[in-house]
């Protein structure tokens, strides 16, 4: 349907292994006779490599941001738990003093 596939391995004459150029997470074997081979020029390969590198950097940045957000959330939850424990301890001590 007009999709571009980057061939990663010419396993044999009948089956090749590759990935969709628009989505590197979609990869697999496909029949060689279902595709038309188009040679990329040096500029095209260079552009594709730069695009992949940029996408990899963006994914890494997103993952790093998610990790930081999880760490912040964990710290906030721990601080809230400590605050609740202090409040319970304080009330318990106040109640004990009232009973004396």
Name the strands in the sheet holding 5-9, side by side, starting at the edge strand that comes first in the sequence.
5-9, 15-20, 23-31
12, 6, 67: which is closest to 37 by C-alpha? 6
Query: pLDDT value at position 3?
Result: 80
Cα 53 → chain centroid: 14
Mean pLDDT by 10-residue block, N- to C-terminus, for the chain (100 residues)?
80 88 84 82 66 85 95 97 96 89
CB 14 within 8 A of CB 31: yes
Query: pLDDT value at position 46?
Result: 63
For the entire predicted model, the pTM comes to 0.45
3-state secondary structure of 35: coil
Query: pLDDT value at position 6?
Result: 85
22, 18, 31: which is closest to 2 by C-alpha? 22
CB 32 within 8 A of CB 14: yes
Query: pLDDT value at position 64?
Result: 95
Please spell the DSSP secondary structure of 80-95, one letter per residue: HHHHHHHHHHHHHHHH
Query: pLDDT value at position 38?
Result: 75
Query: pLDDT value at position 85?
Result: 96
């Amino acid at each position: 349907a007009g999709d571009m596939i980057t061939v990663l391995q010419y396993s044999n004459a009948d089956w090749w292994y590759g990935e969709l150029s628009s989505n590197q997470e979609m990869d697999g074997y496909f029949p060689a006779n279902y595709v038309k081979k188009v040679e990329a020029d040096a500029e095209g390969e260079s552009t594709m490599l730069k695009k992949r590198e940029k996408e990899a950097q963006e994914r890494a940045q997103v993952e790093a941001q998610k990790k930081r957000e999880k760490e912040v959330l964990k710290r906030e939850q721990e601080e809230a738990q400590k605050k609740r424990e202090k409040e319970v301890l304080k009330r318990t001590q106040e109640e004990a003093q009232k009973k004396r």
